[in-house]
């Protein structure tokens, strides 16, 4: 199967980019992820940092990964549907183990389960335009379901938005204790995450996968258009995505992150704008690939992208060690947490560079491929 350096670079960028948001989940209570006012009005520096990340990173890199996942299904089609089914089933198992044993913020289970739901749609479709339209409709259906949540939700925030001191203390104790206590806590959250996947988020994720698959078949994801075409795309997509997302970002700030508005309603502009920005990032890279491909940092991103699964789980191991084992959970501010991110990135970059000097794939990528081959032939 041929490798596409642009795709690997985008995948590496996405894997590193999601840590900008995930670091909050590792280092602060769960409520801090979406609500910077979980402990009261944040400082101006914290507010500015939140706004920048909300505008350019929150959900953008996850959307990028969703599009790339759809591209990955296209790349795997020559191996047959049985291969894809087994491959995705193993990803579900990886995600289940990751989510229960290490970190409740796992995305692998959701990616694998959603992939199992859509891979036959991708394989059976011989009309790229129809596949693209279906993906857009799936995504908008997910946004519509978020509107439904907003309509039926109450105005009183729960612990997942505005936790009480006792709840914060309990979460901190669980994070630092680890072991069976932490596993039990993650297991207790599992039903809620699965329900959210089925009733809302999974629709958006499925839409992104279908869109990514359609754009890959059309050659757009692979950089097979002219630089001028991609320049035209990002000059439309990026401003439009920023405007739509920025409306929600500003209104959340203006309403003081009140749960009545920010809990659901003001998440909707971000949900609508993020795919546009993700596509804009892709177009930006393709438009300037001839120059970017000569940069050393691009080569490093390509290596990270070739080992995306290994690097994603490596981030969990490093951050779990820092915040749970070493005890830095709730010891750093949001700004200080951001300073930790480049250190974890450095681990990803160095590990990828050294590993790929001796091996063609990352360790987990190799294991994933071997397990898929083993069960497919069984």
Residue extents of the structural domains in the chain:
5-377
pLDDT for position 1: 58
- Residue 296 and residue 318: Cα distance in Å, rounded? 25
- The answer to whether residues 14 and 61 touch, using CB atoms and an 8 Å cutoff, is yes
What is the distance in angstroms between the CA of the first residue and the CA of the last residue of the chain? Answer: 23
- Residue 152 and residue 96: Cα distance in Å, rounded? 30
- The answer to whether residues 234 and 285 touch, using CB atoms and an 8 Å cutoff, is no
pLDDT for position 2: 66
Residue 134: which residues within 8 A CB-CB, separation 6 or more? Answer: 121, 125, 210
Q: Which of 2, 61, 69, 369 is nearest to 216 (CA)?
A: 69
pLDDT for position 138: 98
pLDDT for position 158: 87
Q: How many CB atoms lie within 10 A of CB 226?
A: 11
Alpha-helix runs per DSSP H in the chain? 5-17, 19-27, 44-56, 60-76, 81-101, 108-124, 128-152, 165-177, 179-196, 202-217, 227-254, 259-262, 268-287, 289-292, 296-306, 308-320, 334-355, 363-377
Instruction: Give the sign of the dihedral formed by CA 352, CA 358, CA 360, CA 365.
Output: negative
- Residue 150 and residue 263: Cα distance in Å, rounded? 8
pLDDT for position 153: 86
- Predicted confidence pLDDT, tens digits, the chain (378 residues): 568 999 999 999 999 999 999 999 999 999 999 999 999 999 999 999 999 999 999 999 999 999 999 999 999 999 999 999 999 999 999 999 999 999 999 999 999 999 999 999 999 999 999 999 999 999 999 999 999 999 998 888 888 899 999 999 999 999 999 899 999 999 999 998 999 999 999 999 999 999 999 999 999 999 999 999 999 999 999 999 999 999 999 999 999 999 999 999 999 999 999 999 999 999 999 999 999 999 999 999 999 999 999 999 999 999 999 999 999 999 999 999 999 999 999 999 999 999 999 999 999 999 999 999 999 986
pLDDT for position 279: 98
């Amino acid at each position: 199967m041929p490798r596409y350096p642009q795709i690997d670079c985008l995948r590496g960028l996405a894997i590193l980019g999601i840590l900008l948001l995930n670091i909050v989940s590792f280092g602060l209570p769960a409520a801090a992820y979406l609500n910077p006012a979980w402990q009261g009005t944040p400082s101006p520096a914290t507010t500015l940092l939140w706004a920048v990340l909300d505008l350019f990173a929150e959900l953008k890199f996850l959307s990028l990964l969703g599009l790339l996942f759809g591209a990955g299904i296209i790349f795997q089609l020559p191996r047959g549907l049985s291969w894809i089914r087994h491959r995705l089933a193993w990803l579900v198992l990886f995600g289940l183990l990751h989510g229960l044993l290490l970190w409740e913020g796992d995305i692998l289970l959701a990616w694998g389960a959603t992939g199992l739901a859509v891979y036959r749609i991708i394989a059976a479709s011989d009309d790229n335009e129809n596949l693209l339209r279906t993906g857009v409709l799936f995504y908008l259906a997910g946004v519509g379901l978020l509107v439904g949540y907003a309509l039926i939700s109450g105005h009183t925030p729960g612990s997942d938005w505005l936790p009480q001191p006792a709840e914060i203390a309990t979460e901190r104790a669980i994070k630092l204790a680890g072991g069976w206590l932490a596993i039990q806590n993650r297991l207790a959250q599992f039903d809620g995450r699965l329900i959210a996947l089925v009733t809302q988020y999974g629709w958006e994720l499925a839409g992104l996968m279908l869109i990514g698959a359609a754009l890959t078949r059309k050659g757009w994801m692979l950089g097979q258009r002219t630089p001028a075409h991609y320049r035209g795309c990002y000059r439309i997509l990026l401003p439009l995505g920023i405007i739509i997302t920025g409306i929600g970002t500003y209104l959340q700030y203006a309403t003081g992150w009140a749960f009545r508005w920010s809990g659901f309603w003001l998440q909707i502009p971000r949900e609508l704008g993020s795919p546009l920005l993700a596509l804009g990032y892709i177009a930006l890279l393709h438009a300037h690939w001839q120059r970017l491909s000569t940069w050393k940092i691009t080569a490093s991103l390509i290596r990270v992208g070739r080992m995306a699964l290994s690097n994603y789980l490596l981030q969990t191991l490093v951050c779990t060690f820092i915040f749970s084992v070493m005890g830095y959970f709730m010891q750093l501010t949001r700004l200080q947490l951001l300073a930790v991110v480049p250190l974890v990135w450095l681990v990803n970059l160095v590990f990828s560079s050294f590993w790929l000097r001796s091996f063609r794939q990352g360790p987990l990528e190799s294991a994933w491929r071997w397990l898929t081959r083993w069960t497919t032939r069984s």
